[in-house]
Amino acid sequence: MFGRIADRYDLMNTLMTGGRHRAWRRLAVRQCRPAGGRALDVCCGTGDFALELARQGASAVVAVDFSREMLTLAARKAQRAGLSGRVQWQRSDALELPFPDGAFLCVTSGFSLRNVDDVGRALREMARVVAPRGRVAVLELTPVRSWLFGPVFRAYFRGLVPLVGGLVAGDRAAYTYLPDSVRTFPSADELAGLMRGAGLTEVRYRLLAMGAVALHLGVKP
């Protein structure tokens, strides 16, 4: 599915968020403090998180994804940005990261955990490969609990987004899957609990976009 929509993925993200997804990633990377260390981006998609890690001073960035099409587009984007030598693109499984324990100063994941078979296992892998006192940041859509904004957001997300996805990306099914995946995803509190269960400490989160997006941060003890 992600291979089918890869060439329209960035445009749809910009349309759906009004371009705010870039600011959310910048915020997440600032919280990670990657300067001077190796960073890993899990389920990198078209590479925005990985490139931001490089821009904010990571000495080296490794970005992994399951989709060859996404990785190809990410590499092209890095070349256009003049960051080709700063990021290594690699096809890997988030549930079995091919890296030794403690290999990275920080690990990020953006809008991707909804797409793995086992969220807890993915978080355990992310916690395993981050160094002691290193940080794990997860940026993800989250079920909206607000009684005021919730109905409006659900009407937009379940009605308008699939329609626009069909018109712009030519794949209404993929953008019907998107709101369905959010509906069944753990709440922000539940995701924080899963991060603690993965061995991370000092876990906290911040709600963005009127509660539709959550930025979680945890520290490896």
Contact 46, 73 (CB under 8 A): yes
Each residue of 4-22: pLDDT tens digit?
888 888 887 888 888 899 9
**Closest by Cα among 73, 194, 202 to 133:** 202
Where helices occur in 44-136 by DSSP H, the ranges are 48-55, 68-80, 119-129
Q: Which residue ranges of the chain lie beneath pLDDT 50?
A: none
Q: Which amino acid is at 19?
A: G
* CA–CA dist 220, 77 (Å, integer): 31
Amino acid at residue number 107: V
pLDDT in tens, 66-89: 999 999 999 999 999 999 889 999
Residue 210 DSSP label: G
Find the angle CA(204)-CA(56)-CA(66) to the nearest 5 degrees: 75
* Domains identified in the chain and CATH numbers: 18-144+186-219 (3.40.50.150)
